[in-house]
A and B are shown apart, each in its own frame.
Chain A
Amino acid sequence: MFATASQTIGPFWHLIDDPAWFDLTRFGAEGERIAIEGRMTDGAAAGVTDAAIELFQTSPARSASFPGYGRTATGSDGTFRFVTIRPEPLSGPAGARGNALQAPHCGIAIFARGLLKPLFTRVYFAGEALNETDPILALIDPPSRRPTLIARQIAPARYHLDISLQGDAETVFLEF
């Protein structure tokens, strides 16, 4: 058997949008709250205004008070915002590369009109020493593209990540 073909989420996916899902702490999670904000743009540098962005993290561990998953719609200017708990370092991929710790990160999936299948990427956090040795960031060549996955800190507990679907500052997307 083969996996079912992906199809676009289309422009009207907001019928399943629950605006509360941007906040992964809404069930009462404990830990350091952080905000992850940003703007998504297309190949003409225009804001992507009808996308769904999903955030998934395995740290802190999922529980009844922390789903580890959030989803939000990009706004009329392409901006988005999540509130979550700051993730901890995680064990790295098994095997010959060694078991280098992964720097704190969240997985990101992007769905939109014009995307026949999701784009996957990650968000890391500026200032984390482990970013220098993260086994996934290390796979990105040239290294000059690695910062597209690292959110910059704009205020205490507030991070900003721009996502560029196409063009000079194109975000590095991941396949796994």
Chain B
Amino acid sequence: MMIDTTPFRALTPDTQPPYLAPEYRSTVLRSPRSAPVAIPQTITELTGPVFTAPQFPPTDNLALTDGREALGERIIVTGRVLDEDGKPVPHSMIEIWQANAAGRYAHPGDTHDAPLDPNFRGSGRVFTDQNGAYRFVTIKPGAYPWGNHHNAWRPNHIHVSLFGPGFATRLITQMYFPGDPLLDLDPIFLATPDADARNRLIAAFDIGVTEPGRALGYHFDIVLRGRHATPMEN
């Protein structure tokens, strides 16, 4: 196997959240006090795990469990995974998980008293195609309360986990929905300083993706770190 040894570009300041964001209370005791040590990228950072569908079987319809439909507003989420140069990231695994339509996770730790849906487990796995495109079907997750501060509610969101070509491109993010009034009150969303970077976390409603009589469509592109144009001397 050929290994691309071109280093990945540094992330752009302010387009990523900090470790310490006191408005998000859980960061206070979990953020390191010392700055990270900068290291050159070696084979450990330049390469990454490779997942294949036979060993990691895809499940692209979260709205259907053992042939039974989940409750809620059926949606299609599609988009492309690209690098910072706009090049597609092909054949890459994406993991997704979310609350049900009532805002409840099928998780023993979720104590919200909204109802569980026996037909909604809330997790899936898809792979990008050769053009970096992905697609899955689910139901629109509900907003849910959390204990961060008085009257705290998470905006509707889907958790998304990506790997890309290197350990350095590992990304876990959240996809939000347009027009959600909770976004401007959410310390997790607001922790990213750059407003444009925040807004890129919001999917676009897309009538072209919407299927008549079936499901609303949303478009969400995800961008992973790109590589330097030329190998870097260091």
Residues of A within 8 A of B (CB): 1-16, 27, 42-44, 46, 48, 50, 54, 56-58, 62, 64, 67-69, 90-97, 102, 105-107, 109, 111-120, 122, 135-136, 139-140, 165-167, 170-176
Residue interface mask B110-133, A partner, CB < 8 A = 1: 100000000001110100000000
Inter-subunit contact A116/B21 (CB<8 Å): yes
* A15 close to B30 (CB less than 8 A): no
| Distance of B52 from chain A, by nearest CB (Å) | 8
Query: Are A118 and B170 in contact (CB-based, < 8 A)?
Result: yes
Question: Given A5-B15, A122-B44, A172 and B173 touching (CB < 8 A)?
Answer: no
Roughly how many angstroms separate A29 CA and B22 CA in the complex, as a whole number?
A: 44
Write the residues of chain B forming the contact surface with A, with a CB cutoff of 8 angstroms.
Answer: 5, 8, 11-12, 15-19, 21, 24-34, 36-45, 47-51, 55, 82-86, 95-97, 99, 105-107, 109-110, 121-123, 125, 159, 161, 167-168, 170-174, 188-189, 191-192, 197-198, 200-201, 222-226, 231, 233-234
- The answer to whether A3 touches B224 (Cβ under 8 A) is yes
Closest-by-CB residue of A relative to B42 is A93
Residues of A close to B125: CB separation below 8 A: 16
> Bound complex: CA of A111 vs CA of B96, how far in Å?
15
Q: Nearest chain B CB to A89's CB is how many angstroms away? A: 11
CB atoms of B82 and A42 under 8 A apart: no
B194 CB, nearest partner CB in chain A, Å:
8
CB distance from B69 to the nearest CB of A (A): 19
Instruction: Show 19 residue pairs from A and B whose CB-CB distance is below 8 angstroms, ordered by the A residue.
Output: A5-B16, A7-B174, A7-B188, A12-B105, A16-B97, A43-B28, A58-B44, A90-B43, A94-B5, A97-B234, A109-B167, A111-B172, A116-B17, A116-B191, A122-B44, A172-B34, A172-B37, A175-B39, A176-B45
Contact A112:B42 (CB < 8 A) given known A3-B84, A107-B167, A174-B36: no
Select which of B85, B107, B167, B224 is within 8 A of A4 by beta carbon. B224
Taking a contact as CB atoms under 8 Å apart, the answer to whether B36 and A165 are in contact is no
User: A102 CA to B201 CA in the complex, in Å?
Assistant: 38
- Please give me the residue from chain A that is nearest to B168 by CB atom: A176
What is the distance, in angstroms, from B63's C-beta to the closest C-beta of chain A? 15
Given contacts A42-B29, A114-B24, A116-B17, contact A174 B223 (CB under 8 A): no
**Cα-based distance from A96 to B44 in the complex (angstroms):** 19
Residues of B within 8 A of A175 (CB): 36-39
Contact status B26-A113, CB under 8 Å: yes
For A9, list chain B residues within 8 Å (CB): 159, 161, 172
Which residues of A are found within 8 Å of B231, using beta-carbon distances? Answer: 94
Task: Please give, as numbers and ranges, the residues of chain A lying within 8 Å of B43 by CB-CB distance.
Answer: 58, 90-91
Query: 10 extra interchain contacts, Cβ-Cβ under 8 A, other than A5-B200, A16-B97?
Result: A5-B197, A14-B107, A46-B29, A107-B167, A111-B172, A116-B17, A119-B36, A120-B36, A175-B39, A176-B39
Q: Nearest Cβ in chain B — how far from A30, in angstroms? A: 17
Q: Is the CB of B40 within 8 A of A93?
A: yes
Query: Could you tell me the distance between the alpha carbons of A43 and B26 in the complex, rounded to whole angstroms?
Result: 11
In angstroms, how far is the closest chain B Cβ from the Cβ of A21?
A: 10
The residue in chain B whose Cβ has the minimal distance to the Cβ of A111 is B172
Q: Complex Cα distance A6/B27, Å? A: 14
Q: Report whether A173 and B197 are in contact in the complex, using a CB–CB cutoff of 8 Å.
A: no
